Chains A and B, each alone.
Chain A
Amino acid sequence: MILDLHTHSVRSDDGRAKVENYCQWIRKKELPLDGFVLTEHRQFDDTSDYRELEDRYGLVILKASEVETDYGHVLVFGVNDDLRAAFDFARIDNSLPVVLESARRCGAVAAPCHPGRVNVGLFAHYEQKGPVEGVEMVEVCNGGSRSGEDELSAREAEHFGYKGFGGSDSHIVSRVGNCATQFDRDIHSIDDLVAALRDGHFEARTWRTPRAT
């Protein structure tokens, strides 16, 4: 099963894609995706209900978050009330160790995204501050990466022994699915996704054309 683990809808301040338009695009272009995860910036969308779209388009649509930390941006899968109480999703200066530990304690998974990116990527901060305990996986294929960023991510992930996953980081419909993650099992809920990520049986996939720097 293939899921795009990193997408943004109009609920993000810089997102220009409606969720139904993602569904239409995936089906129209016959993309090899079974679904996608909405990772809205600095928030968790607890109001939208996409079950009708899931049924109509035969896609899995899950909700997560992209939060900001002192070591860059981090995707959080399995957001619940306990985790939302643990730190402020809206802040840009959350402590990565706190986010990682809170996610573990609350039954979620926190995973740095675009780690090879300057300023907002994990490895840029490692150069200055050293590694952080508790990181288990990072996004090694990101659809918004510039030339060299994903290569750095993959290289450093291997060095530190982190599992790699993929996500498009799409903000417009035509970018969805250019990077994704393949799992060895079916995933129908956010609990399924969290369990699959913890088990580590997945791999990053990419279909994107590299961008110029």
Chain B
Amino acid sequence: MANAESNVDNNVEGQNVEGQNADGQNAEGPSAEGPSAEGPVDIDAVKRDWVGHKFDSTQFRVHGDRMLAWAEACGETDPRFTDADHPDFQAHPTYTAQFGAKQLFPKGFPKLGRGGFDAGKAVEVHQPVHAGETLTGESEIHDIYTKTGRSGTMIFIVHRMTFSNEAGEPVSTVDWRIMRSAKD
């Protein structure tokens, strides 16, 4: 699932059907955070203020050739995912992990820590995705938490995208963890 941990700036497919996010704003990209907090950040307060906040809605068309390329990149061999002529041809279960929201964080979201990296994605599949569908990805801040390790204190922000099909049925939930260093 290497592609699922791609650069946070890279909206792989990113076909923005609506052209605007849920707030009616033009896409601002992943750098739409608010100003850096001065002094120690109160993570509990940030969590109270932002967890559950919905901030982006983006649509994505599902293309058969992209489904094949994704399955191949994953090393998949099951013909349901690798053969477009298979009667049950469908997207690889991790397919929606490649989609990025127009905004990584909500407008005004405080800048927590510094540096950081893509800490991976977890995909929960609800039902198959098929070629030709248009999916809607709704974004929210699902969780903010801290942990300590050899390198110091880390802040994790979980950006959850919930994907649904044109019938409004949920097809997958993708939790995208972004790690920031709490070091000054």
Chain A residues engaging chain B, CB cutoff 8 angstroms: 13, 41-42, 68, 72-73, 90, 92, 117-120
Contact with A120, one of B145, B146, B150, B156 (Cβ below 8 angstroms): B150
In the complex, the chain B residue whose C-beta lies closest to that of A117 is: B150
**Residues of A contacting B146 in the complex (Cβ-Cβ under 8 angstroms):** 92
Q: Is the CB of B149 closer than 8 A to any CB of chain A?
A: yes
B153 within 8 A of A: yes
Residues of A within 8 A of B152 (CB): 119
Q: How far is the CA of A91 from the CA of B149 in the complex (A)?
A: 14
CA distance A114 to B5 in the complex (A): 29
| 7 CB < 8 A contacts A-B | A68-B148, A72-B148, A90-B145, A92-B146, A119-B149, A120-B148, A120-B150
Residues of B within 8 A of A120 (CB): 148-150
Interface residues of chain A: helix, strand, loop or mixed (majority): loop
Identify which of residues 147-168 in chain B touch chain A, using a CB-to-CB cut-off of 8 Å. Answer: 147-153, 156
Besides A13-B177, A92-B153, 12 other CB < 8 A contacts?
A13-B145, A13-B147, A13-B156, A41-B147, A42-B147, A68-B148, A118-B150, A119-B149, A119-B150, A119-B152, A120-B148, A120-B149
Chain B: minimal CB distance from A28 (Å) = 22
CA distance A41 to B156 in the complex (A): 14
Total inter-chain residue pairs, C-beta < 8 Å: 26
**Min CB distance, B46 to chain A, in Å?**
15
A13 CA / B146 CA spacing, docked (Å)? 11
Chain A nearest CB, measured from B121 CB (Å):
13
Whether B145 pairs with A119 at a CB distance below 8 angstroms is no
Give CA–CA (A118, B148) in the complex, Å: 11
Name the distance in Å between B66's Cβ and chain A's nearest Cβ.
27
Q: Which residues of B contact A41 (CB under 8 A)?
A: 147
Compute how far the CA of A66 lies from the CA of B156 in the bound complex, rounded to whole angstroms. 18
* B40 to A: closest C-beta gap in Å: 12
Question: Closest residue of chain B to A90, judged by CB?
Answer: B145
Query: What is the CB-to-nearest-CB distance from B33 to chain A, in angstroms, rounded to a whole number?
Result: 22
Q: A13-B156, A13-B177 are in contact. Are A92 and B147 (CB under 8 A)?
A: yes
Instruction: Please give, as numbers and ranges, the residues of chain B lying within 8 Å of A92 by CB-CB distance.
Output: 146-148, 153
CA distance A41 to B145 in the complex (A): 12
List residues of chain A with CB within 8 A of the CB of B156: 13
Contacts of B145 in A (CB 8 A): 13, 42, 90
B153: chain A residues at CB < 8 Å are 92
Closest 6 CB pairs of A and B: A92-B146, A92-B148, A120-B148, A68-B148, A118-B150, A119-B150
Q: How far, in whole Å, are A181 and B1 apart by their CA atoms in the complex?
A: 35
Contacts A13-B156, A13-B177, A92-B153; is A119 near B147 (CB within 8 Å)?
A: no
A44 to chain B, nearest CB (A): 16
Shortest Cβ gap from B182 to chain A (Å): 10
Do the beta carbons of B177 and A119 come within 8 Å of each other?
no
Tell me the nearest residue of chain B to A69, going by C-beta: B148
A70 to chain B, nearest CB (A): 10
From B146, B147, B153, residue with most partner A Cβ within 10 Å: B147
